[in-house]
C-alpha cells in the first residue's frame, strides 16, 4: 500500500537550512557563514568530512567544492531548544554537470548526519526507473560505504503517494534501537539519506571534549591524513602497546601498520582489534543513548570491526 503524503515529507533530523526532506525543527537563531574550498580543507570538521567521503568514494577526490558553509545557532524541536553546529559541503564533478553529493556534518560530534547523492545514475536509467530491489541495492551501497555494515539492519521500503513525483521511503532498523537508524528518500535521480539515531537531542551535552591526542597519524602524498585519528587516538591502545601517541605516529611514518607495530611488542592483531572496537562501540552506544549491556556492546563491536581492521592494516602514503 502506498503511503499518503500530507504537506510533503518530514524526516526527524535537524538540517540547516531546511531543504527538501529536511527537518521538522524550526530554526530560531542561527548564523550561517559561507566557506571557500580552501577554508573547508583546513577547517577541522570540513577536513574530517572530506576524508570520510574520499575514503568511501575515492572518485570524489577529483570533484570540485561548489558550495560550503558553517551554521550555528539554536533550533526548536518540540518543546526543547537545541544548540546546533553544522558544516555543509556540496561537491560536483568538474564541469558543473554529472554526479553531485551534499554532506551535512554535526560540528559537535563530527558525524555526517545527512547525505544527498544526485545524478549518480545515467539519465536514461535514473533511479525512478529501477525496481524496488534495485533501489534498495543502491541505497544499501551508499550506507555501507559511508557508514558500514548495512547487513546489520532490517529494511522496509515503500512507495509514497506523491502527486508531483515518484518517491520511495526506506527505513533501516536494528533491534537495539526503538526508531530507524537511517531514513532515506529516493526521488527523480536523487538519494537523500538521514542518520537519525545518534543525532543530539535536548538531553545531549552541547559540547564533547575531543579525544584527539595527535593529528594526522597517517599521511598521503606528503600531506597529513586524518582518516584514522578518531580510531587510533585511544588511551587503551596506547597502554596495550606501551607507546605514546607521538611514538605511534613516528612508527607509522616508517611505513609500518598498527598490526606490525603490535607484533613487535608481542601484542596480537585480535587484541588491538578488540581494544579499538570496544572504545568505538561504547562511544557509539553512548552517543545513541542506548544502554551499554553485554549484548549491545558485542553487537556494536561486531558492526565496527571491519572499519577497525581496515585501519590497523593500513600503511601510510597508500590509498585507502
CA 5 – CA 281 distance, rounded (Å) = 36
Residue 214: per-residue pLDDT: 81
Question: 300: helix, coil or strand?
Answer: helix
Residue 50: per-residue pLDDT: 95
Residue 202: per-residue pLDDT: 36
Residue 123 is given by DSSP the state: G
Residue 290: per-residue pLDDT: 79
**Helix extents (H) in 93-234:** 132-146, 229-232
Length of the chain: 320
Residue 147: per-residue pLDDT: 87
- Sorted by sequence, the CB contacts under 8 Å of residue 160 that are 6+ apart come out as 2, 3, 4, 5, 9, 167, 168, 169, 185
DSSP letter string over 26-50?
EEEEEEEEE--HHHHHHSHHHHHHH
Taking only the tens place, the pLDDT of each residue in 155-209 is 999 988 766 678 899 999 987 777 888 999 999 899 999 998 754 433 333 333 3
Give the dihedral sign, CA 78/81/83/89.
positive
Residue 212: per-residue pLDDT: 52
CA 30 – CA 28 distance, rounded (Å) = 7
User: Which segments in the chain show pLDDT lower than 50?
Assistant: 1-28, 78-79, 199-211
Residue 7: per-residue pLDDT: 32
CB-based burial, 47-69: b 16+ in 10 Å, e otherwise: bbbbbbbbbbbeebeebebeebb
Question: 183: helix, coil or strand?
Answer: strand
Q: How far is CA 67 from CA 88, 99, 107, 245, in A?
A: 8, 14, 17, 35
Cα angle at 286 between 285 and 290, to 5 degrees?
Answer: 60
Q: Which residues pair with 90 in a beta bridge?
A: 67, 102
Enumerate long-range contacts of 168-174, CB under 8 Å, 24 or more apart. Answer: 168/132, 168/135, 169/3, 169/9, 170/135, 170/136, 170/139, 172/143
- The half-sphere exposure of 243 on its side-chain side, counting CA atoms within 13 A, is 23
- The half-sphere exposure of 274 on its side-chain side, counting CA atoms within 13 A, is 6
β-sheet with 190-195: strand ranges across: 3-4, 154-161, 167-173, 182-187, 190-195, 112-118, 100-106, 80-92, 64-77, 26-34
Residue 82: per-residue pLDDT: 63
SS (H, E, C) 71-99: EEEEEEECCEEEEEEEEEEEEECCCCCCC
Q: Dihedrals φ, ψ of 173, to 5°?
A: -120, 160
Cβ 291 vs Cβ 300: under 8 Å: no
Residue 198: per-residue pLDDT: 58
Question: 167: helix, coil or strand?
Answer: strand
Taking only the tens place, the pLDDT of each residue in 120-140 is 998 888 898 999 999 999 999
Amino acid at each position: 500500500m502506498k503511503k499518503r503524503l500530507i504537506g510533503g515529507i518530514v524526516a526527524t533530523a535537524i538540517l540547516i537550512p531546511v531543504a527538501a526532506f529536511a527537518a521538522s525543527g524550526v530554526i530560531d537563531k542561527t548564523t550561517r557563514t559561507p566557506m571557500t574550498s580552501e577554508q573547508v580543507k583546513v577547517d577541522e570538521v570540513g577536513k574530517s568530512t572530506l576524508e570520510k567521503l574520499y575514503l568511501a568514494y575515492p572518485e570524489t577526490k577529483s570533484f570540485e567544492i561548489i558550495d560550503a558553509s558553517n551554521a550555528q545557532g539554536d533550533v526548536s524541536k518540540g518543546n526543547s531548544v537545541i544548540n546546533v553546529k553544522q558544516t555543509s559541503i556540496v561537491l560536483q564533478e568538474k564541469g558543473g554537470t554529472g554526479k553531485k553529493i551534499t554532506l551535512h556534518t554535526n560540528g559537535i560530534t563530527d558525524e555526517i548526519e545527512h547525505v544527498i547523492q544526485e545524478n549518480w545514475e545515467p539519465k536514461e536509467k535514473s533511479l525512478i526507473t529501477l525496481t524496488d530491489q534495485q533501489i534498495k541495492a543502491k541505497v544499501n551501497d551508499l550506507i555501507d560505504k559511508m557508514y558500514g555494515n548495512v547487513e546489520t539492519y532490517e529494511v522496509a521500503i515503500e512507495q509514497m503517494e506523491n502527486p508531483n513525483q515518484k518517491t520511495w521511503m526506506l527505513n533501516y532498523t536494528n533491534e537495539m534501537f526503538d526508531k530507524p537508524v537511517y531514513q532515506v528518500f529516493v526521488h527523480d535521480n536523487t538519494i537523500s539519506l538521514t542518520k537519525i539515531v545518534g543525532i543530539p537531542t535536548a538531553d545531549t551535552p552541547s559540547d564533547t571534549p575531543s579525544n584527539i591526542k595527535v593529528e594526522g597519524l597517517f599521511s598521503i602524498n606528503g600531506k597529513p591524513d586524518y582518516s584514522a585519528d578518531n580510531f587510533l587516538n585511544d588511551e587503551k591502545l596506547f597502554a596495550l602497546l606501551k607507546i605514546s601517541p607521538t611514538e605511534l605516529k613516528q612508527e607509522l611514518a616508517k611505513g609500518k601498520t598498527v598490526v606490525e607495530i603490535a607484533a613487535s611488542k608481542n601484542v596480537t592483531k585480535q587484541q588491538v582489534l578488540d581494544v579499538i572496537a570496544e572504545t568505538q562501540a561504547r562511544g557509539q552506544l553512548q552517543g545513541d543513548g542506548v544502554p551499554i549491556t553485554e549484548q549491545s556492546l558485542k553487537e556494536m563491536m561486531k558492526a565496527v570491526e571491519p572499519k577497525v581492521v581496515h585501519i590497523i592494516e593500513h600503511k601510510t602514503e597508500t590509498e585507502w
